């Protein structure tokens, strides 16, 4: 066999069922090798490398396995940079396989040369700057060590992306793997056990009651929600979630108090204020998650359980040695055996009934607003669906207002917070979950990467794309007016009818434009009747101020929308 055939066989062995990418001369051999593994492994052709990387990213997050993306050199490799950076920032188990020109053409004017020689761009330096796991194969047999290293840890323990640069001649080179190499890939490294190191100090700290828990994205990705719920019961704790972790805890549970940080809820802030001990689970508590919480954290016992050290000072830490699921299980058993008795002076107020506070301010006019659209969507979400939220005004509003489906997933990419992530990510999410995926994005994000919709149409994927169209870069317009005191006009768009346009572009696609809550409700109901994709543009009359801490402060909490001005 040759090198790419070995790689494809090993991907099957590692549990990968779909590899995403965009073809090209220097990656075509790997695409063919992957396709020869059908039906166990299939290539999914995307329309842009950024979207392919985002698809692999979401596939990894929602499947718990590896996400694989394949691209060619030159512009293909450079288009992948943002997706790899997002995977690095969010600690996603992404594997990027990047083709390069043949070895003997390096530095000799090869088409799309990324060798770094003779003044060419060096892909090793570019990707090496955003991940320490970047390797360029110099000889065929080097792939054996790379594959063994890839297989040495389960995906849940892989903290970030890995990039393999594959010269075309090495892809095609014949290689003889040791006997049983592929079958033996899943070995000793997959049986790591949790460690009790540090757990005694964690247990002691949690004697101080009341306890509040802040859960992060690591919880759902490690399939640890049941373990977290058990821990909350044992500690009689209220549970808040980080902005990127809506699905870490049942949003309808009586113990749930909402989201913390810049897009958070007053109930979550109150719970943290009243607590004497704070347990961070699967979150480093970055700025957007801890904004406005400095006074809440002061003087408290802060305990962390997670793969990496948090951004705040902790009283005790329990680093995850195996998987978060196993660590939480062991910790809960220790707490149960210790029969933790709360401090007699402590008092835990009973959690508030299910339901979250809504913003009081309403946009001017008929009441048709982003909030109204999200409330309609909330009622329409199946319990086992997945929600993918984009960045910007839409993301801030959805984090605050849109609960996660009870048995589904909820994903927002906070690492780079790049607009347009959700369109490619939806492709990977649909393959990972085999359930309907709902994309919630703004029109600005759609204009960046929305035509990845074509891939959903080609593969008849169960994705509902909901674009909240306010004809503006809403977050930037709000920032300009509230924080800079100006409106220069460049953040406003001309109005578009996206539904009508896409319906004309893709015959058979159910695509509509909605101008009211009733129309949106009907469109979502009709979307449930189709097995494949549908597209809905909710045309909003105003650019609203999202529930973002800095904007609430700047406006005194009174502004619900900003002046649109005129598109420049």
Tracing tokens 């048709």 back to the chain, one arrives at: 368
Quote the CA–CA distance of 74 and 115 in Å, as a whole number.
Answer: 10
Decide if pLDDT at 425 tops 90: yes
Res 267 pLDDT > 70: yes
The superfamily (CATH) of domain 3-189 is Thiamin diphosphate (ThDP)-binding fold, Pyr/PP domains (3.40.50.970)
Report the CATH superfamily, name and number, of domain 199-338. Answer: TPP-binding domain (3.40.50.1220)
Please give the average per-residue pLDDT across 275-303, as a whole number: 93
Tell me the domain boundaries of the chain: 3-189, 199-338, 370-562
Distance in angstroms (rounded) separating the CA atoms of residues 418 and 150: 27
Rounded CA-CA distance 18/568 in Å is 43
Q: How many CB atoms lie within 10 A of CB 21?
A: 29
Which pLDDT score is estimated for 189? 46
Alpha-carbon span 343 to 208, nearest angstrom = 6
Q: So what's the pLDDT on residue 339?
A: 72
| Best mean pLDDT range from 181-190, 520-529, 543-552 | 520-529
Look-up of token digits 């840890």: 153
For the chain, give the number of residues.
568
- Please state which CATH number belongs to domain 370-562: 3.40.50.970
Query: Rounded distance, CA 391 to CA 4, Å?
Result: 36
How far apart, in whole angstroms, are the C-alpha atoms of residue 312 and residue 351? 26
pLDDT at 363 over 70: no
Q: Where are the alpha helices (DSSP H) in 129-198?
A: 142-151, 168-172
Distance of CA 55 to the CA centre of its chain: 10
Q: How many angstroms separate the CA atoms of 29 and 272, rounded?
A: 54
- The whole-number average pLDDT for the span 107-135 is 94
The span from the CA of 386 to the CA of 176, in Å, is: 42
Residue 257 pLDDT grade (very low, low, confident, very high; cuts 50, 70, 90):
very high
pLDDT-derived band at 199 (thresholds 50, 70, 90) equals confident
Q: Summarize pLDDT for 48-57 with one digit per residue, the tens.
A: 999 999 999 9
CA atoms within 13 A on the CB side of 299: 6
Nearest C-alpha neighbor of 305 from the set 233, 197, 154: 197
Q: Is the pLDDT assigned to residue 17 strictly greater than 70?
A: yes
Angle between helices 225-235 and 324-338 (to 10 degrees): 20
Q: Token digits for 545?
A: 């101020």
Task: Indicate the pLDDT class of residue 354, thresholds 50, 70 and 90.
Answer: very low
Q: What Cα–Cα distance (Å) separates residue 91 from each residue in 84, 131, 220, 284?
A: 10, 10, 14, 12
d(CA 98, CA 82) in angstroms, rounded, equals 14
Q: What are the pLDDT digits (tens) for 504-534?
A: 999 999 999 999 999 999 999 999 999 999 9
Contact 259, 290 (CB under 8 A): no
Q: To the nearest whole percent, how much of the chain has pLDDT over 90?
A: 81
In 10 A of CB 42, how many CB atoms? 15
pLDDT of residue 445: 97
By the 8 A CB rule, do 331 and 318 touch?
Answer: yes
pLDDT at 516: 97
d(CA 402, CA 423): 19
Do 146 and 138 touch, CB atoms closer than 8 A?
no
344 vs 70, which has greater pLDDT? 70
Residues of 174-198 as b/e, b for ≥16 C-beta within 10 angstroms? ebeeeeebbeebeeeeeeeebeeeb
As beta bridge partners, residue 69 has 20, 96
HEC secondary structure over 342-398: CCCCCCCCCCCCCCCCCCCCCCCCCCCCHHHHHHHHHHHCCCCCEEEECCCHHHHHH
pTM of the model: 0.93
Whether the predicted pLDDT of 397 surpasses 90:
yes
SS3 35: helix
Strand partners, 410: 387
Mean model confidence pLDDT for the chain: 91
| C-alpha span between 474 and 544 (Å, rounded) | 7
- The average pLDDT across 341-350 equals 48
Residue 371 near residue 359 (C-beta atoms within 8 A): yes
Asked whether this chain's domains 3-189 and 370-562 adopt the same fold, the reply is yes
Assess contact for 98 and 71: CB atoms under 8 A.
Answer: yes
Q: Say which residue, 172 or 360, is predicted with more confidence.
A: 172
């Amino acid at each position: 066999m040759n090198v790419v055939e070995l790689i494809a066989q090993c991907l099957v062995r590692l549990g990968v069922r779909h590899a995403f990418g965009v073809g090209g001369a220097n990656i075509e051999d790997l695409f063919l090798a992957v396709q020869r593994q059908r039906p166990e492994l299939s290539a999914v052709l995307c329309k842009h490398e950024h979207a392919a990387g985002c698809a692999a990213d979401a596939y990894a997050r929602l499947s718990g396995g590896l996400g694989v993306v394949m691209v060619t050199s030159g512009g293909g490799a450079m288009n992948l940079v943002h997706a790899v950076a997002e995977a690095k920032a969010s600690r996603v188990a992404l594997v990027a396989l990047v083709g390069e020109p043949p070895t003997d053409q390096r530095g000799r004017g090869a088409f799309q040369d990324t060798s770094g020689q003779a003044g060419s761009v060096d892909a090793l330096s570019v990707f090496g700057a955003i991940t320490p796991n970047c390797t360029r194969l110099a000889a065929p047999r080097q792939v054996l060590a790379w594959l063994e290293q890839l297989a040495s840890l389960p995906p849940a323990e892989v903290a970030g992306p890995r990039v393999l640069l594959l010269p075309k001649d090495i892809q095609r080179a014949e290689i003889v793997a040791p006997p049983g190499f592929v079958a033996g890939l899943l070995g000793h490294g997959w049986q790591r056990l949790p460690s009790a190191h540090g757990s005694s100090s964690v247990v002691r700290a949690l004697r101080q009651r009341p306890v509040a828990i802040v859960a992060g994205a690591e919880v759902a990705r490690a399939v640890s929600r049941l373990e977290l719920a058990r821990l909350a019961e044992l500690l009689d704790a209220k549970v808040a979630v980080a902005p990127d972790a809506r699905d870490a805890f049942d949003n309808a549970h009586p113990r749930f108090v909402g989201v913390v940080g810049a897009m958070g809820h007053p109930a979550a802030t109150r719970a943290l204020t009243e607590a004497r001990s704070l347990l961070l689970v699967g979150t480093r508590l970055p700025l957007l998650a801890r904004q406005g919480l400095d006074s809440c954290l002061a003087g408290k016992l802060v305990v962390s359980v997670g793969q990496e050290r948090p951004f705040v000072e902790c009283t005790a830490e329990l680093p995850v040695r195996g998987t978060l699921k196993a660590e939480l299980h062991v910790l809960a058993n220790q707490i149960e055996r210790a029969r933790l008795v709360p401090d007699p002076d402590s008092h835990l107020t009973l959690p508030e009934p299910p339901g979250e506070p809504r913003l009081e301010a309403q946009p001017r006019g008929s009441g048709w607003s982003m909030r109204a659209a999200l409330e309609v969507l909330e009622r329409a979400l199946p319990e086992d669906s997945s929600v993918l939220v984009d960045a910007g005004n839409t993301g801030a509003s959805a984090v605050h207002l849109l609960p996660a489906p009870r048995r589904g997933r909820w994903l927002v990419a906070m690492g780079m917070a790049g607009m347009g992530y959700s369109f490619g990510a939806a492709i990977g999410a649909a393959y990972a979950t085999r359930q309907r995926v709902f994309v919630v994005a703004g029109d600005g994000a759609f204009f960046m990467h929305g035509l990845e919709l074509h891939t959903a149409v080609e593969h008849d994927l169960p994705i509902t794309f909901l674009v909240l169209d306010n004809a503006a870069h809403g977050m930037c317009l709000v920032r300009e007016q509230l924080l800079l005191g100006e409106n220069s006009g460049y953040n406003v768009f001309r109005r578009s009818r996206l539904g009508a346009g896409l319906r004309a572009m893709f015959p058979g696609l159910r695509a509509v434009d909605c101008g009211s809550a009733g129309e949106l409700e009907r469109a979502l109901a009709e979307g449930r009747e189709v097995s494949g994709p549908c597209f809905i543009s909710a045309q909003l009359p105003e650019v609203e101020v999202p529930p973002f801490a800095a904007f609430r402060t700047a406006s005194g909490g009174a502004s619900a929308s900003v002046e649109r001005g005129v598109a420049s």
